[in-house]
Structure 1
């Protein structure tokens, strides 16, 4: 899932300082799970904005709403009436959701309420770790299902490096050395010989540096075009 952290309230307050009719818009997917963009956070942030405005002697109207996903047009369409009745929207979805909202409602100012950080998941309650860098060329089949691109501070393709000590990364002692974990995993799977192979430099052109990236599901595109042609000839 995409993990995001809440922006400082003072930054949010400054972004919205010129607007009087605001919608705080949550997202029911990733940011709900990481407790930064769900309905609870919508209510808390909206209340904070109202209280702050009252203390400043400003009159504002703050609406609260949420949709299952801000990154799909059909879910955004369901909240069109609410959005078009506002001067500004504070989206507490990830950066993808903010951009979809901005494209859908070009006349309305859309502001981000969170900082999108990484793709990962919870390791325990309240703690989230990065697990995927979206590099576009997955190598997990050769590393026991553990990713050195996102979980190694140096993104080493061959490890471990000479700096890890006692299974911990030299960059941060609280971070496990993923290559130590990969070794243990491959040992458990009786695949240690895999580590004897020298992995060549990674093709980084498939990664985030080569942006914007696009994925096309040909079977769906062909099906859509076929349906459109059928409708046209009826």
Structure 2
């Protein structure tokens, strides 16, 4: 789940200071679940912008905003409004906002801040879980991510700075490597910690990344 949260009213108004007519877009998936860009949030944004003197020409929750073909198709429902609008406020994540910008001509502004890939602990409570590093380490760390959960991103831990099982960096976070150790011990797999791992190959996470399954299938067929 991509976790996002609303930008401040002041920042959004700053984006729109030279724009009068606005369209608001959201996303039916991640942004809806984390209460940043669903129907309710779009309606709240509409009421807020109208109170600030903006004219909201239309609003739509896209399914999903990061799907380019679906987004382009869905935006056709607002074809006339898009020809008239000055700007679009996107309440989707950063990925969805960029997708909307590719599919529509008007200036697109983000109405949310994209925070992290994480899990939903309960409604309104989220925790970062994955940095999309391009080379998953969960197979030998008892499914506890050292890249995300360790503040130092250590691949060979622990660092030795933890106190009372808490990370020395702060924020009250549990030490990732103590968590990994205890879980591996319960699973009878402590030998996993005895192997010295190669430094993380961050070339696999060079931005921007791209995956083309069609090309991959062609290469497999040729082989």
TM-score calculated relative to the size of structure 1: 0.86
The answer (yes or no) to whether the contact 2:26–2:90 under 8 Å persists in 1 is: yes
The answer (yes or no) to whether the contact 1:46–1:62 under 8 Å persists in 2 is: no
The answer (yes or no) to whether the contact 2:24–2:56 under 8 Å persists in 1 is: no
Q: Match of 2:221?
A: none
How far apart are residue 200 of structure 1 and its match?
1.8
Q: Match of 1:31?
A: 31
Match of 1:181 among 172, 179, 182: 179
How far apart are residue 218 of structure 1 and its match?
3.1
CA distance in 1, matches of 2:147, 2:217: 32
CA distance in 2, matches of 1:94, 1:61: 21
Match of 1:69 among 44, 60, 64: 64
Give the gaps of 5 or more residues in structure 1. Answer: 54-58, 223-234
SS of equivalent residue, structure 2 residue 183: helix
Q: Match of 2:214?
A: 218
What does residue range 131-142 of structure 1 map to in structure 2 within 5 Å? 131-142=129-140
CA distance in 1, matches of 2:170, 2:134: 27
Kindly tell me the number of residue pairs found equivalent between the two proteins: 214
The answer (yes or no) to whether the contact 1:50–1:62 under 8 Å persists in 2 is: no
Q: Match of 1:17?
A: 17
What does residue range 95-174 of structure 1 map to in structure 2 within 5 Å? 95-105=94-104, 107-174=105-172
SS of equivalent residue, structure 1 residue 78: helix
The answer (yes or no) to whether the contact 2:46–2:56 under 8 Å persists in 1 is: no
SS of equivalent residue, structure 1 residue 197: coil
How far apart are residue 201 of structure 1 and its match?
0.9
Root-mean-square deviation (Å): 1.7
- 1:78 matched to 2:98: no
The answer (yes or no) to whether the contact 1:4–1:115 under 8 Å persists in 2 is: yes
Give the gaps of 5 or more residues in structure 2. Answer: 219-223
How far apart are residue 96 of structure 1 and its match?
0.9
